[in-house]
Structure 1
């Protein structure tokens, strides 16, 4: 046993009680032996901190050479192609521009006639004594009318024709004695001044007033040494700011001799704005004058005078007669004239506001702001004094009338076609939806006309009869088939429409702005 141990010790080269000489080689403790990754050699040569990777060397940017650019762009051939494409683009652009200019130059263009203020204005005929009623609360008519000037101006009205200021045969100088029921001279002067401040022209109605005869001019005899009585009276009112005078075709002043004298007086006051003469036509034919320029505006009635409501047939005949009549050189102004039902009254208002000329609207309670205020006051009562259905309906009709009037006046003010566009009467057939006509008489035709300015067209349709109508598809094939509603008598037509699917209601008038399919010009 001892021998065996001894031999073993000798083979290993170790003697008992001594540390092996190659202890480091065999590994001791946590130090790995040779050939392992954690050897003594590796441990000593490995740095304690791992160094960061060094950045790549910075390469300085250099622009590409011409050869490199051509190579990247596909070669020199592509450069020539791009140059040709750019040149072709600019040549095409210049060609389109030149073609557009040529089309504009060659195309016929409407020539705008410069209109004077009285050719663009909407006239409102009224009598100041109509404002002297229970709503004026004791104030006189002139003062109440002064308070209504801003409201009247907001409706689009630009000129007032004041009627009833002078009694028949009275002198226009002595207002206090002649028309004390209407107002005194200072009140009328104040009315004229307030109207001018609001941009509202004032035209005095001298119909049936004796302007020729010598009337009570002794106190002004020294001023009349070199002028006639009429010239002195005209100068008096022109100095107050009056824009013109209205006479009837039956007055003695309606003569070439008298109107020539008036024109001489007007020249003294027409440096800034022209002063005008308005003639109210009371006969079927206006008495001719050798010099038609002596009269600026002729007020014509659409309906014949009548004391009773005219039937629809007479209204339709009167409208068709005026639509087919070519107007004279004298500038026309349209007014309703005769009496008609409330439905036809709205239709006639649309007609006269869209005809060529200057509309002259007569005083209407539906446009009176005081009437609307009184209705609103009654509508705001308590439950015990609640308004009746008739009062509510009346208030609704008044609001509708104001909305229709405002829509027509504003459309006419901003649309050139309605101001000085051409006029074309459009007679056409229509199909009636009524199974039978009233009293066995044939249905009334639909009346229509066109107002055009350049490429803008306004179509006005008037159904005077009591039956609904559809337009015949064969009607006016040259016109566009689509349009947009501008206004209607009931103010309930909105948006676009197709003419061939449009149904006209009884006693309805419609204004449509036509446009080509797919266009809203």
Structure 2
């Protein structure tokens, strides 16, 4: 030891100068760090905290872990309960739906024969320009209008038996022409019914003692001949001798030989009296008459007024349901202004419409109108020519609209019928000065399930506004289907509807907010 150090050590309370180097005092060397100046400068001022553990990333359960977690008794009970509740709810909804369907009133669909679905078109080939040959060319056009059957009139000579195949009228056409017409009609899917009303159907009476038997054999032979050519049936009158139980039973036996599911032959009786004469001594449960053709208007020599037409229409609208299928024709002698109104009525009444030949929907007449020039007729101006052409187009459009609506709408085809008498007010000052009474608005309803069609008829010459309280149970909203002028489109409200003079309107009703 050096003398100085020794002196300092011997001297009490005195710290040696180099004590820090050995003893560690005044230095951090004791903590494990270097006590030199370099060591102090390199030491960090703040001691960093230890880093936290990294977040463990989420991973889906494995199959083994999922089975272990879901296999507990608690989860099994929950799952069984949920499955049970689901099937109970499903069965309950199914049972409620079935109960609603079963308990809901549904209309019964009656299968219709071809003559119950068809629109009949009555015409005489001799009345048309070109006769039978021109008619054969127009058959596809007539079918496109919605016509399903033709009633050919005036084919037979009244002097001899019309059921004989050699008794065709010379002014109409020859036998090969008529046979060609029947063949072409079948190709065009048009039925042909031969009108033999008011003609002598009895054959030659060669043997005096068996006159009736000989006549019946001749008629039966002639029936077979025309049925073989493709005739779909015959039209007779209720005043003819053929309108008897014995004759019609014989005709039915012949028809069975040529009838099928869609080829059934028919007998149409044209009713000429107020009440159809019943068949006497009828014991068999056989329908001898398929269609009874009735006229809406009674026969008249003078043009019938609006009041007379309205009374005749109202009489038929208040009719009772009948067992025999009805075919409606206009008949009578109505004014030209009511032609379209009566067409709408005929097409919408229950039964089969039998429309009389109309030159406005004749394609030959329309073609000649387009080709002809107004200068050919000095009395006809260009404006009149355009009005005629527009009128014919409107007539074709109305006929097509009514026939197609009837074919696709169950309510118009076989729906129920309800006559709707109600009050209406006249919206015209001229009616107050008129001495003639104005006919009321006529209306009826055709319904099938929830679908309702309203037919409104204003036969009079004055406009009418519907009374808001005329039918409180009916929906007020509707959409136009057809009208006599074919100028009404879109939706309408019955409370604000005004009918024009001589106008008929077909409206499909619907509840507010529903367009079904």
Following the alignment from structure 2 to structure 1, what is the Cα–Cα distance between the partners of residues 463 and 214? 67
1:131-172 deviations in Å (ceiling 9; x for gaps):
2x3xx3xxxx11111001000111111111100001224223
Of 394, 398, 401, the match for 1:404:
398
Of 345, 350, 357, the match for 2:351:
357
1:191 aligns to 2:185 (yes or no): no
Q: Give the 3-state SS of the residue equivalent to 1:440 in structure 2.
A: coil
Q: Give the 3-state SS of the residue equivalent to 1:204 in structure 2.
A: strand
Following the alignment from structure 1 to structure 2, what is the Cα–Cα distance between the partners of residues 144 and 305? 31
Is the contact made by 2:303 and 2:335 (CA closer than 8 Å) also made in structure 1?
Answer: yes
1:239 aligns to 2:228 (yes or no): yes
Instruction: Single out whichever of 316-325 and 298-307 deviates more from structure 2.
Output: 298-307
Of 488, 492, 495, the match for 1:493:
488
Q: Give the 3-state SS of the residue equivalent to 1:412 in structure 2.
A: helix
Partner of 1:341: 335
Q: CA deviation at 1:363?
A: 0.5
Following the alignment from structure 2 to structure 1, what is the Cα–Cα distance between the partners of residues 125 and 341? 27
1:168 aligns to 2:150 (yes or no): no
1:261 aligns to 2:241 (yes or no): no
Partner of 1:278: 268
Following the alignment from structure 2 to structure 1, what is the Cα–Cα distance between the partners of residues 214 and 235? 27
Q: CA deviation at 1:328?
A: 2.5
1:487-512 deviations in Å (ceiling 9; x for gaps):
11111111111111111111111111
Is the contact made by 1:431 and 1:471 (CA closer than 8 Å) also made in structure 2?
Answer: yes
Q: CA deviation at 1:61?
A: 5.5
Following the alignment from structure 2 to structure 1, what is the Cα–Cα distance between the partners of residues 429 and 133? 55
With over 3 angstroms needed to count, the CA separation of the structure-2 counterparts of 1:79 and 1:506, relative to structure 1, is farther
Of 478, 483, 487, the match for 2:478:
483
Of 382, 388, 392, the match for 1:394:
388
Q: CA deviation at 1:433?
A: 0.9
1:421-453 deviations in Å (ceiling 9; x for gaps):
111100011122112426334432110001111
Q: Give the 3-state SS of the residue equivalent to 1:399 in structure 2.
A: helix
With over 3 angstroms needed to count, the CA separation of the structure-2 counterparts of 1:86 and 1:511, relative to structure 1, is farther
With over 3 angstroms needed to count, the CA separation of the structure-2 counterparts of 1:227 and 1:177, relative to structure 1, is closer
1:120 aligns to 2:117 (yes or no): yes
Q: Give the 3-state SS of the residue equivalent to 2:453 in structure 1.
A: strand
Of 447, 450, 455, the match for 1:455:
450
Q: What is the count of residue pairs matched by the alignment?
A: 449
With over 3 angstroms needed to count, the CA separation of the structure-2 counterparts of 1:289 and 1:386, relative to structure 1, is closer
Q: Give the 3-state SS of the residue equivalent to 2:257 in structure 1.
A: helix
Following the alignment from structure 1 to structure 2, what is the Cα–Cα distance between the partners of residues 177 and 232? 14
Following the alignment from structure 2 to structure 1, what is the Cα–Cα distance between the partners of residues 466 and 82? 54
Is the contact made by 2:163 and 2:201 (CA closer than 8 Å) also made in structure 1?
Answer: no
With over 3 angstroms needed to count, the CA separation of the structure-2 counterparts of 1:240 and 1:216, relative to structure 1, is farther
Q: CA deviation at 1:227?
A: 6.6
Of 365, 375, 380, the match for 1:371:
365
Instruction: Single out whichever of 107-116 and 165-174 deviates more from structure 2.
Output: 165-174
Q: CA deviation at 1:103?
A: 0.5
Following the alignment from structure 1 to structure 2, what is the Cα–Cα distance between the partners of residues 338 and 268? 38
With over 3 angstroms needed to count, the CA separation of the structure-2 counterparts of 1:108 and 1:380, relative to structure 1, is same
Partner of 2:217: 228
Q: CA deviation at 1:179?
A: 0.7
Of 431, 447, 467, the match for 1:472:
467
1:312 aligns to 2:309 (yes or no): no
Is the contact made by 1:170 and 1:178 (CA closer than 8 Å) also made in structure 2?
Answer: no
Of 109, 133, 137, the match for 1:143:
133
Q: Give the 3-state SS of the residue equivalent to 1:465 in structure 2.
A: coil
Following the alignment from structure 1 to structure 2, what is the Cα–Cα distance between the partners of residues 121 and 513? 22
- Give TM-score, length-normalised by structure 1: 0.79
Of 92, 96, 119, the match for 1:95:
92
With over 3 angstroms needed to count, the CA separation of the structure-2 counterparts of 1:59 and 1:425, relative to structure 1, is closer
Is the contact made by 1:344 and 1:507 (CA closer than 8 Å) also made in structure 2?
Answer: yes
Partner of 1:200: 190
1:211-242 deviations in Å (ceiling 9; x for gaps):
1241799xxxxxx9897111111111111111
Q: Give the 3-state SS of the residue equivalent to 1:228 in structure 2.
A: helix
Q: Give the 3-state SS of the residue equivalent to 2:445 in structure 1.
A: strand
Partner of 2:41: none
Following the alignment from structure 1 to structure 2, what is the Cα–Cα distance between the partners of residues 185 and 506? 47
Q: CA deviation at 1:270?
A: 1.4
Of 288, 298, 312, the match for 1:294:
288
Q: Give the 3-state SS of the residue equivalent to 1:474 in structure 2.
A: coil
Following the alignment from structure 2 to structure 1, what is the Cα–Cα distance between the partners of residues 247 and 494? 52
Following the alignment from structure 2 to structure 1, what is the Cα–Cα distance between the partners of residues 140 and 453? 30
Is the contact made by 1:378 and 1:387 (CA closer than 8 Å) also made in structure 2?
Answer: no
Is the contact made by 2:466 and 2:497 (CA closer than 8 Å) also made in structure 1?
Answer: yes
Following the alignment from structure 1 to structure 2, what is the Cα–Cα distance between the partners of residues 332 and 419? 13
The 5-angstrom pairing of residues 74-85 of structure 1 reads none
With over 3 angstroms needed to count, the CA separation of the structure-2 counterparts of 1:484 and 1:97, relative to structure 1, is farther
Q: Give the 3-state SS of the residue equivalent to 1:161 in structure 2.
A: strand
Q: Give the 3-state SS of the residue equivalent to 1:294 in structure 2.
A: coil
Partner of 1:20: none
- Show structure 1 runs of 5+ residues with no match: 1-34, 36-55, 218-223
Q: Give the 3-state SS of the residue equivalent to 1:483 in structure 2.
A: strand
With over 3 angstroms needed to count, the CA separation of the structure-2 counterparts of 1:421 and 1:238, relative to structure 1, is same
1:324 aligns to 2:318 (yes or no): yes
Is the contact made by 1:379 and 1:387 (CA closer than 8 Å) also made in structure 2?
Answer: no
CA RMSD, 1 decimal: 3.2
